[in-house]
Amino acid sequence: MTAETFYTFKPRDKKGNPYDFEQFKGKVVLVINTASKCGFTPQYAGLEKLYKSLRADYGDDIQFLGFPCNQFGSQEPGNDDEIQSFCQINYGVTFPILGKVDVNGDNTDPFYSWLKDQKSGLLGLRRIKWNFEKFLIGRDGHVINRWASTAKPEALKEPILEALGVKNSSGGGSTAEGEAGAKPEPKSDESKPKPDEPESKSEDKVESKIESAAPSAGPDSQSKSNSTTSAVASKPEDTSSTTESQPETQA
């Protein structure tokens, strides 16, 4: 079967019904051939995490599609229902897992024949080498990139963002740094008066206390020094008078 774009195909879903790729026109799609008993099976967790993150930010502009295959070490022996249960129970997979397919050989699914024609693998090899190879489909319905099984899901984020037309994180990072660098300056300017204000207020309070205390020591004094002197001078007289009067009172 010959097809110009990704949208021409209608592979079988988990129930055996045609799954029309026309619904993904203008979107970016990641395609993975999967298996439940493979050393790379834990990649389901990373794929699901990446999928949820991208969907949260870009909605249905991005889609992941899993295609179970039993051609590599017989590592996907279950039927479609068993595969669905395994993915959901063990990894909480929410992206579509379609029906089992062959990706190599005489019974290769037409969709996978097209994928391999679009993008060869390492050293120009056309065939799928193992489980969890990945193909990235662009908004125009053509394959942008292909990765081997060893490519970790988190490493696919930047290429997917580029396919979505999103600026790479390095550009965003420099902007964020610029904003962060600009913020401390106004904060430091605003904070300068704040430490000084309590100090000036405390000095005013001390001075007011001294001034208020000064008149109470000597009502007739007009200066702080005179009031202090009169207060000191009056204390011995008061003390002596008190001392002298005490014996008389006791007697």
Q: How far apart are the C-alpha atoms of 34 and 98, rounded to whole Å?
A: 10
Strand partners, 143: 137
Q: Is 75 left (phi over 0), alpha (psi -120 to 50) or beta?
A: alpha
Which of these is catalytic: 38, 47, 62, 160? 38
- Return the closest-CA partner of residue 31 out of 97, 91, 84: 97
Q: Are 126 and 146 in contact (CB under 8 A)?
A: no
Spatial separation of the C-alpha atoms in residues 163 and 159, rounded to whole Å: 6
Using DSSP, state whether 65 is helix, strand or coil: strand
Residue among 20, 135, 96 at smallest CA distance from 8: 20
* 87 tagged catalytic: no
* Both structure tokens of 71: 């051609």
| Positive or negative torsion for Cα 221, 224, 227, 230 | negative
Q: Among all residues, which ones are annotated catalytic?
A: 38
